[in-house]
Amino acid sequence: AQSVSQHNHHVILSEAASLELGCNYSYGGTVNLFWYVQYPGQHLQLLLKYFSGDPLVKGIKGFEAEFIKSKFSFNLRKPSVQWSDTAEYFCAVIRTGGGNKLTFGTGTQLKVEL
């Protein structure tokens, strides 16, 4: 079965620190990849996505992610975090031809301290 692993469950950073959240998936075929974010008390919303093309994708609020096919990874990065980035981050994968079923990772709770 397809699975998505997020290795960091809780991350605490100071403002202006760099961020990298790991995401690995298990499916060997063609996939579409997503990062969603859930700010406290808000809807789950899309941060960025990869369908095809340039493996380095840029999303909202200065986030980016790199798809490395050989490593089955789609790590999320931000060079300098802000207090407002405090949220839970979810990596998700759709196997193309898999009926648009999203498989989510377990999430990473990020806390940014002033």
Partner 1 sequence: DGGITQSPKYLFRKEGQNVTLSCEQNLNHDAMYWYRQDPGQGLRLIYYSQIVNDFQKGDIAEGYSVSREKKESFPLTVTSAQKNPTAFYLCASSATGEIQYFGAGTRLSVL
CB of 43 to partner 1, least distance (A): 5
Cβ pair 108, 78 in contact under 8 A? no
Distances (CA, A) of 64 to 75, 78, 96, 97: 8, 6, 22, 26
- Separation between Cα atoms, residue 53 and residue 14, nearest integer Å: 34
CB of 99 to partner 1, least distance (A): 7
Decide whether 42 or 70 has the Cβ nearer to partner 1: 42
Tell me the torsion sign for CA atoms 22, 28, 30, 31: negative
H or E segment to which residue 28 belongs: none
CB of 67 to partner 1, least distance (A): 16
The site for partner 1 (CB under 8 A) is made up of: 4, 6, 9, 34, 36, 42-46, 49, 90, 92, 99-107
Decide whether 70 or 101 has the Cβ nearer to partner 1: 101
CB of 41 to partner 1, least distance (A): 9
Decide whether 19 or 94 has the Cβ nearer to partner 1: 94
